[in-house]
Amino acid sequence: MRFLVRLVILGFAGLGMYKAWELVGPKVAEARQRASGARERIEPAIREAADTLQTATKDAAEELAEGARGVDDIAPDAFGSAAEKVSPTPKMAP
């Protein structure tokens, strides 16, 4: 008798799962379809943003490299003249 009761309970559980799947199945398919549509819309925007960021990064690097070319000559002179003003050691030597 216990076996029969367990079998009936298992049957009702299986029926409940089947009904739940019947109710949820179409909603799941609809959600998958919406998600794939969203991916198709978002993917080109992400690619465009990545390309824009890459281009901006390259432009900024080139601009910094061009700006740094003229600084190589100025920086040692400024440092040297400032060091001469602060340090009186060359004049103190006999």
Whole-number Å distance between alpha carbons of 34 and 41: 11
What are the pLDDT digits (tens) for 26-73? 888 888 888 888 888 888 889 999 999 999 999 888 888 877 666 555
Helix-strand-coil split of the chain, %, nearest 5: 95, 0, 5
Give mean pLDDT, residues 82-91: 55
Q: In this model, does residue 81 exceed pLDDT 60?
A: no
DSSP symbols for 42-74: HHHHHHHHHHHHHHHHHHHHHHHHHHHHHHHHH
Give mean pLDDT, residues 68-82: 56
